[in-house]
Amino acid sequence: MQWRVVAEGGKCRFLVFGHLTLGEHEYANRGRIEIDAQRKQFVFRPDADGLWAKRYPHASYRLVISTPKEVEAIGGDELLYLDGERRGGGYAVIRSRQTRAVAFAVVGSMTDEQQAAALAAKYAKGVDDGVLSAQSTRAWRQISRGARLLGGGAEAKAVDTVLPWFVHDAMMHLTAPHGLEQYSVAAWGTRDVCQGSVELLLALEHDEPVKAILRIVFAQQYEKQGDWPQWFMLEPYSAIQDKAAHGDIVIWPLKALCDYVEATGDFGFLDEPIVWRRDDDFQTTEHADPVVVHVAKLVATIRERFIPGTHLVCYGNGDWNDSLQPVDPAKRDWMTSSWTVALLCQQLRRYADVLRAAGRARAARDHDALAAAMKKDFTRLLIRDGVVAGYGEFSPNGGPPELLLHPSDRTTGVSFSLIALTQAIVGGMLTAAQARRHANLIAKHLLLPDGAHLMDKPLAYHGGSETIFRRGESAAFFGREIGLMYVHAHLRYAEAMNVLGDRQALWDALLVANPIAVTERLDHASPRQRNAYFSSSDAAFRDRYEAHAKWELVKAGGVAVDGGWRIYSSGPGIYVALVVQHALGLRRRFGKRFSKRNLPATQKRLRLTGVPPSR
């Protein structure tokens, strides 16, 4: 990475300081640091006893200054204080003389110290900015396909402008999953990588990287348990993972597999042998089995988790809404999530279609039959008075379930769950009339000025005490899922509107999730960074008590809404896929391209360049 900082006008002095992280965690700065004051260079190496050094003993990074004559001193945090005394902070500091510009770079290698030194020598002499810029432009153009929206007005311009930035954000989430507010983690979430990353790459027709992702993901499946970890690190840290998982995690690899084969027609991948993970030490097995065997184990695991007497998979440790994990451990086995059931049923039907297209009709019929049984129980047990519930809580003694997040719910006081309603539409669990009715319920109860909200009201907060759902009742911060406008779920609402052919609702949903367009559309939207994806729209209440007491202000647009966490989410990839595959309608079916636009009449001249890629 290279920086050149220029002051307009007269000369000035620069103080440049960087916060060092030389390990796995924030403030981990015990690594080895060498300061070469004469050559104006820093050398950074990992702590010999740390995890980084054990995996990459020859890692070496250097901060080099290509304008050394303009620099007065380099050092540690002593240069930050007038008394020149060190405080022990983990900083690298550059202090310049009176100058108009300073330039510096960070270079290095994870495996070769000599390569790092050679790069440092090159950058110390200065590098042609134009060459680097051209290389960077070509690389990002290849990733984004140079996709541009042409022929539209101001609204389309906002989408066009943000599109390459969202590609950027989605690639950050895939390659180094850090966000600007959650920057001390670096693992793949099984759920996350199987959504935004896969959907982005397939929309832009980067098929080989998707196949690589699937190989990595399926190689994480536990051989005996048949499930996946909630999150896992990549090699050489792959033994570090969270074995516990929410009840929906087992579904996402199947969803990603269907996405890939449906788009590419690569039926041969179903027979590709892939290893497993041992359940005890997380190491890979010596033997490998075809992908279809992995899926068979996945389905067998799901069958084992059906609530007795039903074809409804149990809730487990939670579903996509991380704020609604059950307090009572017994509920994990006797609750079911309508969203999880609808998501699973959809993927089983899709996999059956894949198997039929691959010439495996008998196996396809088995999966169709299972999906049909699930849909029957979904309709019988989770729809009451014509409304899909968020959850069903069964009793070991039998009888119909108590429905939560439903108009009949007297336990939580919440009547509607967005993800349950939208996934029922997207997953084909409803008749056409039922789907339209649920869209009307969303519009009436969940669609607020800043987008579709997870529930019609927040859960009551009583100082952090927990009775039904853990974080939903105990989290003090009113934002992200707790604040209810979680953009990822809002984008799935947009997908549901596409399924219903509601072109204007789809387009409006894309605009309100756009950091450029939202502040033009909403007077109460706080100013925000316009080139970053925001994971949520957070009503600016002082605390959860005020949020609960004044919730009607959110519905009326009477309280400011702030941009929440930036970049760290599957959302940017989902957004790009919605624009390309749904709004512009550029899709593939078993390797054959087709187009089915779903744009409002105001955008009839809009077209996309760069996708599909030229051959």
Mean of the pLDDT values across residues 398-409?
Answer: 95
Is 200 a residue whose pLDDT tops 60? yes
d(CA 248, CA 419): 13
| Residue 485 vs residues 194, 421, 462: alpha-carbon distances, Å | 22, 15, 21
Which among 587, 483, 581, 586 is positioned nearest to 535, based on CA atoms?
A: 483
Mean of the pLDDT values across residues 509-527?
Answer: 95
> What are the strands of the beta sheet with 60-65, ordered from one edge?
2-6, 101-109, 60-65, 41-45, 32-36
CB 315 within 8 Å of CB 340: yes
The pLDDT score that the predictor gives to residue 590 is: 97
d(CA 403, CA 410): 9
Is 422 a residue whose pLDDT tops 60? yes
Which pLDDT band, with edges at 50, 70 and 90, does 162 fall under? very high
Q: Cα torsion at 274, 368, 594, 421 (round to 10°)?
A: -100
Count CA atoms closer than 13 A to 273's CA, side-chain side.
5
d(CA 260, CA 588): 10
Burial class (CB within 10 angstroms; exposed 0-12, middle 13-18, buried 19+) of 466: middle
Which pLDDT band, with edges at 50, 70 and 90, does 127 fall under? low
479-488: per-residue pLDDT in tens?
989 999 999 9
Is 615 a residue whose pLDDT tops 60? no
DSSP bridge pairs for 267: none
Determine the angle formed by the axes of helices 361-381 and 291-304, rounding to 10 degrees: 30
Q: Which two tokens stand for residue 49?
A: 């006893």
The pLDDT score that the predictor gives to residue 614 is: 66
Q: What one-character DSSP code corresponds to residue 469?
A: B
Is 26 a residue whose pLDDT tops 80? no
CB atoms under 10 Å from CB of 278, counted, come to: 14
The pLDDT score that the predictor gives to residue 128 is: 64
The pLDDT score that the predictor gives to residue 186 is: 73
| Residue 288 vs residues 265, 429, 592: alpha-carbon distances, Å | 23, 36, 31
The pLDDT score that the predictor gives to residue 135 is: 81
Mean pLDDT of the chain: 93
The pLDDT score that the predictor gives to residue 395 is: 92
Per-residue burial over 241-269, b if 16 or more Cβ lie within 10 Å, else e, is beeebbbbbbbbbbbbbbbbbbbbbbbeb
Residue whose structure tokens are 């609750």? 335
What are the strands, taking DSSP E only, across 20-75? 32-36, 41-45, 60-65, 71-75
Which among 492, 575, 576, 594 is positioned nearest to 143, based on CA atoms?
A: 576
Per-residue burial over 292-316, b if 16 or more Cβ lie within 10 Å, else e, is bebbebbbebbeebbbeebbbbbbb
Residue 322 designated active-site: yes
Is 2 a residue whose pLDDT tops 70? yes
Percent of all residues in the chain with a pLDDT value above 90, rounded to a whole number = 80
CB 393 within 8 Å of CB 335: yes
pTM comes to 0.93
The pLDDT score that the predictor gives to residue 512 is: 97
Query: Which stretch of 228-237, 262-271, 358-367 has the lowest confidence by average pLDDT?
Result: 228-237
Which among 2, 94, 90 is positioned nearest to 41, based on CA atoms?
A: 94
CB 402 within 8 Å of CB 472: no
Mean of the pLDDT values across residues 165-191?
Answer: 86
d(CA 180, CA 165): 14
Mean of the pLDDT values across residues 373-393?
Answer: 98
The catalytic position among 322, 377, 409, 508 is 322
Mean of the pLDDT values across residues 57-64?
Answer: 95
Is 179 a residue whose pLDDT tops 90? no
Which pLDDT band, with edges at 50, 70 and 90, does 205 fall under? very high
Q: Which two tokens stand for residue 151?
A: 């022929």
Pairing relationship of beta strands 391-393 and 451-452 according to DSSP bridges:
unpaired
554-563: per-residue pLDDT in tens?
999 999 999 9
The pLDDT score that the predictor gives to residue 1 is: 86
- SS3 of 86-153: CCCCCEEEEEECCECEEEEEEEEECCCHHHHHHHHHHHHCCCCHHHHHHHHHHHHHHHHCCCEEECCC
Mean of the pLDDT values across residues 190-215?
Answer: 97
525-554: per-residue pLDDT in tens?
999 999 999 999 999 999 999 999 999 999
Of the chain, the end-to-end C-alpha distance in Å amounts to 32
What are the strands, taking DSSP E only, across 316-358? 335-337
Query: Which stretch of 123-127, 136-140, 459-463 has the lowest confidence by average pLDDT?
Result: 123-127
Dihedral sign, CA of 75, 78, 82, 84? negative
Question: Residue 370 belongs to what H/E stretch?
Answer: helix 361-381
d(CA 612, CA 203): 9
Return the biggest CA–CA distance within the chain. 82
Determine the angle formed by the axes of helices 252-264 and 338-357, rounding to 10 degrees: 40
Which among 348, 326, 159, 165 is positioned nearest to 251, based on CA atoms?
A: 348
The pLDDT score that the predictor gives to residue 185 is: 66
> 3-state DSSP call for residue 5?
strand
The pLDDT score that the predictor gives to residue 129 is: 60
Burial class (CB within 10 angstroms; exposed 0-12, middle 13-18, buried 19+) of 552: exposed
Q: How do the domains of the chain map onto residue ranges?
A: 2-113, 186-304, 306-430
